[in-house]
Amino acid sequence: MSGVLITFEGVEGSGKTTQMRRLGRWLRAEGHRVECTREPDGTRLGLAVRRLFERPGVRPEPLVEVFLFMAARHQHVAEKVRPWLARGRVVLSDRYADATVAYQGYGRGIDPDLIRELNVRATGGVLPDLTLLFDVDPAEGFRRIGARRRDHFEREALAFHRRVRRGYLEILRAEPKRVRLVRAAEPPAVVAAEVRALVEDFLRGA
């Protein structure tokens, strides 16, 4: 089997990161060669981009956010994703191109079509084969996060995160074959079983 790229998307507190790790362990036990990564900090350059957002007094304009994430994405693809795919790996990425459409497009108000065009250029056409959208009400997501220290985006108002969720659901409606809904409000074991079933079905047909 040639390499495949499976991305994990969703609002804050949706559980996608935990479920990606669980899926990675399960896939390895099934004999697949798996690589797990994340955006924007899947590379040293990407980690530097993430840290920019946390510097006191630094608040990039929405379009600047887009360009920063595109730079990190291009490096991520060139340094890790494309080489892994060329070696036949199953690549699992915690956030990828759809995140910028949802967060900076629907959340910040930047033209989503512009972001999609930039995504094609930033990824060199390396787009997800399957995207799992972990859907949960943002209020529930923040209840799960609790009192932990919040990052730049987690500190945004709930209205922003509701727009992000609407953006993700619009992506799902536009691309139902690639993007599959995961009911993230269910108990973790139920979510994990749903994720395994979706991925197993996808890999069977890949």
Q: What is the tens place of the pLDDT at every residue in 33-89?
A: 999 999 999 999 999 999 998 888 878 999 999 999 999 999 999 999 999 999 999
Distance CA 93, CA 128 (A): 9
Classify 8 as helix, strand or coil. Answer: strand
Distance CA 82, CA 186 (A): 33
The pLDDT value recorded for residue 142 is 86
The number of folded domains in the chain is 1
Query: Residue 127: which domain range?
Result: 4-205
Tell me how far the alpha carbon of residue 138 is from its chain's centroid: 16
The pLDDT value recorded for residue 82 is 97
37: amino acid identity, one letter: T
The pLDDT value recorded for residue 175 is 97
The pLDDT value recorded for residue 150 is 75
Mean pLDDT by 10 residues, the chain (206 residues): 91 94 97 97 95 86 96 98 97 98 97 97 97 96 80 85 97 97 96 97 88
For residue 95, give the CATH number of its domain: 3.40.50.300
